[in-house]
Each structure stands twice: as C-alpha cells, then as structure tokens.
Structure 1
Amino acid sequence: MIVVMKPEATQDQIDHMIAHVRELGLSPQVLHGTQRVVIAAIGEERPGMVETLEPGEGVEKVLPILAPYKRASRELKPERTVVKAGRLEMGGVAIGVIAGPCSVESESQIVGLAIKLAKLGATGLRGGAFKPRTSPYSFQGHKEDGLKMLAAARDASGLAIVTEVMAPDQVPMVAEYADVLQIGARNMQNYNLLQAVGDSGKPAMLKRGMSATMDEFLLAAEYILDRGNPHVMLCERGIRTFEDHTRFTLPLASVPFLKEKSHLPVVVDPSHGTGKARLVPPMALAAIAAGADGLMVEVHDDPERAVSDGSQTITPALFADLMANARRIAQAVDRTL
C-alpha cells in the first residue's frame, strides 16, 4: 500500500503513520516528494489495512500497490532510478556501455583490451572470473586470480568492473574486487544469492532467466531491493524459444515494457541474445532505439581463439563501428553515449 500524506502534514503526523505501518507488520519506506511525503507499506497486505490507515491524521489517501513486485514498481517510485558505479551510469540520459570478453583469460589480455575499450567509449568492463558452463569439462574461469586481473584492468583503464558471482559465499570476495555484481541467467531465482547480493550493498546486474516471465524477473529484483539495496539493473539477455536460427530469442519488446512497469534501469545483452557476432551490432542499435539504458557486449581481440563464446563475440574494430552508429541512434532518441 501507499500512504499519501497531505502537503501540510507535520513531521509528528508522518512519524506516527510510520510507526502505525510497523505495528501492522509492514515495512515502511518513506519517499520525500517536492510537495508531499509518501509512505510505502511493504509486506503481506491483509483485509482491513486500508481502512485502518486512512483515518490517520495528515493522511490524504491510501492506495494499493497492484503489482506483485512492490519496491521495483513505478507505482511506488515513478521517477527513474539511476545506478552509478565509477564511470558507469545506467538510467540517466547517458547510455552506459559494458564491453569485454566472456572470460578473463590472462592479465595482459584483459588489461590491453580494457584500455582499447575505454578509448572507444565503453564505461564498464565485463569479464568472467567465475564461469558457469553447461559442461563440467569446459573452462570454469580463473576465479580469484581472474578478479585480480580485472582489478588491474580497472586501474589501467578506469572502467567499472562488471563480473558474475555464482554463490552466496562468493559475494564478499567478488565484492572486494568488482564494482557491479552480475547475477547470471541460471541464477536469477537463486534466492539466497539474490539476498546476499542485496546485503552487500553493491550495484547489481540481474540477468533475466532464459525461461523467466516478466513478473518472475521483477520479483527476483525485488529480493535484492527488499534487502535495502536500491542499486539494481535489469538485463534482458534473451529467452529460450522454439527458434534455432539464433542461440536465444532477444525480445526487445521487454525493454519498453520493463520501463513502463519498473523504475529500474534496463540493459540489453545482444551477444547472448543472438549468439551470432554478425547480429550483435544491429540488435544493439535496435535496443537503443527501443529505450535501453545500456548495452552489454562481448568483445575480444581474437574471437576465433577465445576460450568461450567466440561465435557471439565481436572485435574491437567492429565495436568501434558499433559505437559510432550507436551515437547516432542515441541522439535520435534524445540520449547520449
């Protein structure tokens, strides 16, 4: 529920309603607007609660939050959330671009590539130190050594580090090195991990599960938000369908839908969404046109020799072309890059 206070409500009246919300077993979240204060009452709503809160002194009206995801909903927070991590910003006028290899392979590789990407306009560096792979025999990442390599790349390039965390007990280690904790598609409903990332307070990049509905996606974000961490970005990375001409199906209609329903920034990953390098640039441009707040693109100096996902990875030269075209699209939709 949302308790809308009158413009002339006193601080004592506001404090009384906050206490009243707590007495009902709900969690109050206070939003200070330009003209009035709004108190969001988060939790399991029971019959009669609206009638209990409406007579409170200083209360103008009490409205239900219809969406099952309360904290992620624009009903609670109409203004857009802007997430910042170093040079990376998502949700404002500027479109953030996260680029880098699927896996961190060596320090020289990731540092050299990071410097190139920063010069081309990227603001974040992606790279897996822990790699969830379908086969147990595939390369699983360099783990903490990989995190140290990413930190060296940040020092050399100034890019914010975005890397995946796979288990709750890894969160403190990854948070020590990374600027943004990525929760992969396979872990979107790993609720213990979501809560651990929420408790860390670090910005989070939540990827949509490959078979997840929009409600499931936003409710997963709710787990992070509910732990008091407002720094959440939603990443559309494609879903599994009957189609086999691409690795996944990248449903760009989810971008305007998510922005209509939620205040959280929306990022698109056209690399995983298509699985084919030649399709990455056009889908990235389409994502910007659809309203995406950011892109996450796989880039490697030599995709043919990449230890993972080489088929969906573009070269720095193609990334430079993509950035040039992306700036034109961004300008057309009143954004910057």
Structure 2
Amino acid sequence: MIIVMKHGASREQLLAVKQRIRDLGYKPHVIHGATCNVIGAVGDERGKAVLQSLESMDGVENVMPILQPYKLASREVCPEPSIIELAPGLTIGGEQLVVMAGPCSVEGEEQLIETARAVKAAGATVLRGGAFKPRTSPYAFQGLEEEGLRLLDLARQETGLPIVTEVVNPRDVELVARYADILQVGARNVQNFPLLKLLGQQDKPVLLKRGMATTIKEFLMSAEYILSEGNRRVILCERGIRTFETATRNTLDISAVPVLKEQTHLPVVIDPSHSTGHASLVPSMCYAAVAAGCDGLLVEVHNSPETASCDGPQSLRPSDFAIVMEKLRQFAAAADRKL
C-alpha cells in the first residue's frame, strides 16, 4: 500500500503513521517528495486491506494499493526519478551522464594506475575494475581478490575517482564494502537473494546487473530485495541478454532503457562491453544508449587489451576511449544531458 501524507503534515504525524504500520505487521519505507511525503507499507499481501484504516489518521491524505509486484522500485511509490549520490559531488539519475570505465579485472598496479589516469583524463567519473571475478571455467583467472581491492584503493588515491567493483560471495560483502564506493552485482548473481539482502543492509550504492536470461520483471524484483532491506541507492545495469544470435557475445536490449524508465524511478546504466563482446561495437552502442535515455555507461578500458587476463577483445584502448568520450559529448548534449 502507498500512504500519501497531506501537504504540510507534521513530523509527529508521519512518525505516528509509521508506528501504526509496524503495529499492523508491515514495514514502512518513507519517500520524501517535493510537495508531500509518501510511505510504502510492505509486507504480506494477503492482509493488506487492514492498511486502509490508516486513512483515518491525522495527516494522511489517502491510501492506495501498489499494483506492481515490485513495490519500492515502482514509479507508483516514487513518480519522480531517483537521484543517487555515488560520491561527494557526484550523482546519477539527474542531468549528469555518468561514465564508469576501467579494466575488466585488476591485474597489477602499473596496469590499473595507467588505465585509471587515462580514463579520468578522457572524462570518466568512476573507475571500474574487478578484484573478484566469477568465471565460467574454474581454471580461468579469478581475480586478485583483496590485493585487487588494495590496488583499487591506491588508484582512487592517485586519481580521486570513486571505484565500483563486484561482490561475488555473501561472505565478502563487508570486505568489499570497506574498499568500494559502489558495490556491483554481476549478471550471474542477480538472483542470489542472500547476497542481495546483505547488500540491502549496506550504506553504499549498489550497481545491479541484469541476468542473461532475466526478464524486466525479475530484474526489478531483484532490485526490490535490496530496497526492502533499507538501501535506496540501487542502480540498474542492462548488460545484454542471451539470444540465438552468435555475432555478438550477448544481445544488448536497448529497449530495456525506456521500459525501465516507464516502470521504475531507479537510474539505468548500459554496459556496451559485455553485451557486444567486441571493442569495435562498443562506441556505437554507447551513443545508442545515451539516445535511448540511459543515465550512465559502464565501459571496459585496458592499457594493453592484447595481454589482458580476461575480456581483452571487448576492451577499448585508452586512446580509443578518449575519442568515444569526445563524440559522446555531442550525443549527451542532444539528449539534454551533461558529460
């Protein structure tokens, strides 16, 4: 249910409604709006009719059912787009187009620092890099783990760029959260619900990637797991889905951007690197993503793709990334965004 508070309702009235929601066995989630506050009451659907009684409380305008199964992610609860702080002075979801760039995996200090300096010089505002790497083969490079996190921290000190890196295992959440500014959930973990619940208890933004065979509804239900635990800073990432096509690594679902924009208030990011699997295709997918209305891009950049431990063929060289960023400014301006 959505409980809409009256314009000018007092803090005491808001607190009283929240307490009554708890007394009825539901969990209140307050969304502060420009003109009024809204409370999402989430819990067992079977007895939700009892919440209708809240209409009689002081300060309550009305009580309405939430039609979508994803309650807190829905635009019914929050009609305006959410603007999420990634780091001091950096937000996503508003006018600013955020570009997160860096290597697929952290392989060493020289590789990471050189790439970090290059992507910052080109205009990226977040450094990406994997310390833990979930791989299809158990014999493939699995990442440097905590040493990789230390190197990411060093790159942050060197460049000032906040870092986004993946959490693979629930037991590593606290460790990764000590280093990362943004916690990433990979496609293979989109329905790892114990992991999502733990991330929902962290005070860090979460970048949630869509699974290779995940529907939009399932994707948003995964986001709901994080939101329902209290973490409102969720960013959705479309990274391509599995189809019959073999010319690309995955099929980038560009239509997911406007669909998600209609159904949720959460920011949407596109990963053109994992979706295409080919560096030559990444630039045009970046431009298309901005035209479709995305809030950010997640691009793989490596100082020496031919020697990369993983995903070298889809990684841009720093010089090519700089060219993409320059042209991207034109697309951003056409889409009324700033880069």
TM-score, normalisation: structure 2 = 0.95
Shift, 1:88, TM fit = 4.5
- 8 Å contact kept, 2:105–2:310: yes
- Residues 149, 176 of structure 2: 8 Å contact kept: yes
Q: How much has 1:248 moved relative to structure 2? A: 0.3
Taking the aligned partners of 1:26 and 1:141, their CA distance within structure 2 comes to 42
How far residue 13 of structure 1 moved from its aligned partner, in angstroms, is 4.1
Query: 1:47 offset after TM fit, Å?
Result: 5.5
Answer with 58-67 or 25-34: which moved more: 25-34
Q: Is the Cα–Cα contact under 8 Å of residues 54 and 62 in structure 1 kept in the other structure?
A: yes
Task: Please name the residue that 1:44 is paired with.
Answer: 44
Is 1:199 aligned with 2:219? Answer: no
Structure 1 pair 215–92 and aligned structure 2 pair: CA distance change class (3 A): same
1:292 and 2:302 correspond: no
* Cα RMSD, aligned residues only: 1.6
**Aligned CA distance change for structure 1 residues 47 and 245 (closer, same or farther; 3 Å):** same
Secondary structure of the structure 1 residue equivalent to 2:151: helix
| Pairing of 1:313-328 with structure 2 (within 5 A) | 313-328=315-330
Q: Residue 85 of structure 1: CA displacement?
A: 2.4
- Using the alignment, how far apart are the partners of 1:222 and 1:231 within structure 2? 11
Aligned partners of 1:163 and 1:180 also within 8 Å? yes
Identify the residue that residue 302 of structure 1 maps to in structure 2.
Answer: 304
Alignment-mate amino acid for residue 40 of structure 1: G
What secondary structure, in the 3-state scheme, does the structure 2 residue paired with 1:29 have? Answer: strand
Taking structure 1 as the reference length, the TM-score comes to 0.96
| Residue in 2 that maps onto 1:18 | 18
Structure 1's 64 and 130: CA in aligned 2 closer, same or farther, altered over 3 A? same
Range 69-78 or range 33-42, more displaced? 33-42
The alignment partner of 1:54 has SS state of helix
Equivalent position SS for 1:74: coil
Tell me the distance in 2 between the aligned counterparts of 1:177 and 1:8.
41
CA shift, 1:113, in A, is 1.0
Q: Deviations over 1:179-215 (max 9, x none)?
A: 1111100001111111111212111110001100111
CA distance in 2, matches of 1:171, 1:13: 37
Aligned to 2:274: 272
Aligned length: 337
- Structure 2: runs of 5 or more not aligned: none
Matches within 5 A, 1:25-64: 25-45=25-45, 46=47, 48-64=49-65
1:259 aligned residue: 261
Report the Cα distance in structure 2 between the residues aligned to 1:54 and 1:156, rounded to whole angstroms. Answer: 55
Contact 2:114 2:303 in 1 (8 A): no
Which residue does the alignment assign to 1:134?
136
Which range is displaced more, 168-177 or 289-298?
Answer: 168-177
Percent of paired sites with the same residue: 54
Q: Tell me, in whole angstroms, the C-alpha distance in 2 between the residues paired with 1:288 and 1:137.
A: 37
1:1-337 matches, cutoff 5 A: 1-7=1-7, 9-45=9-45, 46=47, 48-86=49-87, 88-337=90-339
Distance in 2 (CA, whole Å) between partners of 1:14 and 1:202 is 26
CA distance in 1, matches of 2:177, 2:37: 34
Residue 92 of structure 1 contacts residue 293 of structure 1 at CA under 8 Å; is this kept in 2?
Answer: yes
